[in-house]
Amino acid sequence: MPLIRDALETDIPAIQTIYAHHVLYGTATFEEAVPNVVEMQRRYATIRQAGLPYLVAEVDGHVRGYSYAGFYHPRSAYRFSLEDTIYLEDGWQGRGLGKSLLMTLLERCEAGGWRQMVSLIGGSDNAGSIGLHISLGFRHVGVLEQVGLKFGRWHDVVLMQKSLGKGSTDIP
């Protein structure tokens, strides 16, 4: 069973290595140039300074995955809506790490008073991520067709959403 804990600045090199693989070989992200450790530290600091959760999955003392919540959109009307991000080290899919990370992230966000979690999943063929989100109560809300060009071909973005806490049943 993985240890899910708050990410530390000392985890950023491992996080950067995990993300670099997805940038170079996958379509979960449409980023095409690998950000360096300094840029990943800046991104981490932005999330943490906003008071949002940033988590890692540690197995035998090694970071094997990470997840964080970012604001869905910068305009104030979206202040209770978040977007999840989750990446696993290559070869660590299918072992429950993703589910543990995302479940903990959802719990933290709900406890923080946020009301909606949105997921933008790169690729309609990303069955692992789509299945993970469905297993935790996300519903399919749409597809942005052929909006990302990576590796010489077009890719969809699958939109999924989950209410947190009271969702939209009242005004915070």
CA nearest 109: which of 152, 64, 161? 161
Predicted TM-score (pTM) of the model is 0.96
Half-sphere exposure of 139 (CA within 13 A, CB side): 5
Residue with tokens 């589910």: 99
Q: Which residues pair with 66 in a beta bridge?
A: 56, 87
Task: Give the burial class of 88: count Cβ atoms within 10 A of its Cβ; 0-12 exposed, 13-18 middle, 19 or more buried.
Answer: buried
pLDDT tens per residue, range 32-49: 999 999 999 999 999 999
pLDDT tens per residue, range 69-126: 999 999 999 999 999 999 999 999 999 999 999 999 999 999 999 999 999 999 999 9
Pinpoint the alpha helices (H) of the chain.
12-25, 37-49, 97-111, 127-135
Query: Contacts for 133-139 with beta carbons within 8 Å, 24 or more apart?
Result: 133/102, 133/160, 133/162, 134/160, 135/99, 136/99, 136/102, 136/103, 136/106, 136/162, 137/162, 138/162
**162 Cβ partners below 8 Å, 6+ apart?**
106, 116, 117, 119, 133, 136, 137, 138, 139
Q: What domains are there in the chain, each with its CATH number?
A: 3-118 (3.40.630.30)
